[in-house]
Amino acid sequence: MANTAEVIDSAQPFLNINMSNVIKLTSLNYITWSLKVHSLLDGYDLVGYVDGSVSSPAQTTVSNNAAIQNPDFLKWKRQDKLIYNGLLGTLSPSVQPLVTTTKTAAEMWHTVANIFAKHSKGHIQQLRLQLQQFSKGDKTINEYMQGLTTRFDKLALLGKPFDIDEQIEAVLRGLPEDYKYVVDQVEDREVSPKITEVHEKLLNKEAQLLTAALVTPSSDPLSANIDTSHSLPYPHKSTQHHHQQWNNRTSNTYPGQPF
C-alpha cells in the first residue's frame, strides 16, 4: 500500500498520513528509517512538526478581556497527534517502550535520534576502520563501490563526512594489482575526479579484464604434447623379467637359432 494523506476535516483540513509501508525502526536501521519518514513528512509540508520549526502556539488567548482556549493551539495539537500516531506505528515493538514519556511528535523524533543517531565516537571510529580495511576481493566493481558509498553516507549522517580526496583514497586503496593502471591515472591528476567518474573507469577496466580472461587459451598444444611424451611410462620390471624368461626358454628349445 502506498503512503497516503487523508484529509479528515474539510473545514479544518488535517492530514492523517498513512505510514504503514515505512520500514519498522530497529536498533540497526535508523538512518534508512529517518530518511524515509523525514522525506515523507517533508512531501506533505509537515516536517516542521518533528524538527521543531512548527512550534506549539499558546494554549490560551484573550478575547473580550477573558482568557479562552486558543483555536490555533487546538489545530496544532490535532495535527501533531495524527503525526505522533503515524510515527508510533513505524516503531518496532522493542523500540516503542523507549518513547512512552514523549507527548509530541517532535519529542518522539528527538528521543529516537538521541538514542540511535547520537554522534558516537565509537561508531564513527568503527566506520573509519571498516573503510581502511575494505578491499575489492572477489566482489564486482559495483558491489565494491556500493560497500564504500554506504559507509561514506553513514559518516555524513553522523556529522563526520569524508571529503572527495578521502573518498578517492579509500576507493583506490582497496583495489588489486589488476587495476593499477586506473589507480595511476587517478593519482596523476592534479584535480580529484568525481566518484562517479572513478566508478566508470573501474567498470571499463573490469570489462577489459573479463574479456581478456575469455580469449586467453587455457593451454599450449605444443607443451601439452611434450608433457604427454614425457609422461609415457617405462616398461614395468615384472614385464621385463617375463620377456627374459621367454627368451631363455626359446633359446634352450631351439639351440643355435635366434629368436
- DSSP H or E stretch at residue 139: none
155 contacts: CB under 8 Å, gap ≥ 6: 124, 127, 128, 161, 162
What does the alpha-carbon distance between residue 75 and residue 163 come to, in Å, rounded to a whole number?
A: 44
148 contacts: CB under 8 Å, gap ≥ 6: 131, 134, 167, 170, 171, 174
DSSP letters along 201-242, please?
Answer: HHHHHHHHHHHHHHHS-SS-HHHHHHHHHHTPPPPPHHHHHH
pLDDT at residue number 167 = 97
Helix (H, G, I), strand (E, B) or coil at 60: strand
61 contacts: CB under 8 Å, gap ≥ 6: 67, 68, 69, 70, 71, 72
Helix (H, G, I), strand (E, B) or coil at 61: strand
202 contacts: CB under 8 Å, gap ≥ 6: 141, 144, 145, 171, 175, 179, 182
- Is residue 57 within 8 A of residue 69, CB to CB? The reply is no
pLDDT at residue number 254 = 40
pLDDT at residue number 88 = 96
Place of cell 523507549: 98
Mean pLDDT per block of 10 residues along the chain (259 residues) reads 52 77 87 91 95 91 86 94 96 95 96 81 88 96 96 84 95 97 94 95 96 75 46 45 48 41
Amino acid identity at 217: P
Q: Phi and psi for 217 in degrees, rounded to 5?
A: -65, 145
Rounded alpha-carbon distances, angstroms, from residue 49 to 34, 43, 82: 14, 13, 11
Closest among 62, 56, 92 to 74, alpha carbons compared: 56
pLDDT at residue number 70 = 92
Place of cell 608433457: 227
Confidence (pTM):
0.53
pLDDT at residue number 211 = 94
pLDDT at residue number 154 = 84
pLDDT at residue number 209 = 95
Q: Residue 117 gets which letter from DSSP?
A: S
